[in-house]
Amino acid sequence: MRLPLVNSDSPVLRAQAAPVTDLMKAVATAANLLQTMQAEVGVGLAAPQVGQSLRLFVTGVKGEPMVFINPEITERSKEEILWEEGCLSLPRLLGEVRRPKEVTVRATGTDRQPFEVKADGLLARVLQHEYDHLEGILFTDRMDDLRKLKRLTEEEWASRSEDKDRGGPKDET
Ligand code: NI
């Protein structure tokens, strides 16, 4: 089921999300998050973005759906890189954010077993962006200079979504 996204000024986007305790329910929610992410043509979506203050997010980098329940970032590379980010919760905005190049994330999967992912490239970027959503942090909070925030027109934003269908590197999460 496709879920509606909350507005950008919704307090749930600014709250620290609660740990998942009902795994069965989280697995069902994850399926809806994946469907919503795909419908919105994003590469990541966190539960708070659909109004559920839970430590749960999904990613779809290179078309591969992944589910992270109660994720923890256990390692961050010293090396940091700038990468342009957007967010389904902040329509039409893009900005460059500095973050560690590589991260290791530990989480519980839909099979209810713990797993670990060591990521670089787009997946590392998306994992950190989505993890921030669980802490009530938006990418704009991490920009060095908000004056560099780019505002796209509706048309530009929509055509960017089409780019994402082709797996472009600058995706909304
Ligand atoms: Ni986002």
Any idea what the CATH number is for the domain that residue 58 is in?
3.90.45.10
Q: Per the domain annotation, does 91 fall within a domain?
A: yes
Q: Per the domain annotation, does 165 fall within a domain?
A: no
**CA dist., res. 135 & res. 131, Å (int):** 7
pLDDT tens-digit profile of 17-48? 999 999 999 999 999 999 999 999 999 999 99
Q: Round the average pLDDT of the chain to a whole number and report it.
A: 93
Q: Does residue 172 surpass a pLDDT of 80?
A: no
- For position 159, what pLDDT does the model report? 81
141 C-alpha to center of ligand 1: Å? Answer: 12
Please state the φ and ψ torsions of residue 139, each to the nearest 5 degrees: -60, -30
140 C-alpha to center of ligand 1: Å? Answer: 10
98 C-alpha to center of ligand 1: Å? Answer: 15
Count of H helices and E strands in the chain? Answer: 3, 8
86 C-alpha to center of ligand 1: Å? Answer: 7
Do residues 39 and 9 touch, judged by C-beta distance below 8 A?
A: no
Q: Per the domain annotation, does 67 fall within a domain?
A: yes
CA neighbours within 13 Å on the CB side: how many for 9?
A: 0
Q: Per the domain annotation, does 121 fall within a domain?
A: yes
pLDDT tens-digit profile of 122-142? 999 999 999 999 999 999 999
Q: Per the domain annotation, does 93 fall within a domain?
A: yes
Q: Per the domain annotation, does 159 fall within a domain?
A: no
Annotated active-site positions, please?
130
99 band by pLDDT with thresholds 50, 70 and 90: very high
Q: Per the domain annotation, does 160 fall within a domain?
A: no
- For position 158, what pLDDT does the model report? 83
Structural domain including 50 reads 11-153
87 C-alpha to center of ligand 1: Å? Answer: 4
Q: Could you tell me how far CA 55 lies from the centroid of its own chain?
A: 12
Provide the domain count of the chain. 1
Q: Per the domain annotation, does 30 fall within a domain?
A: yes
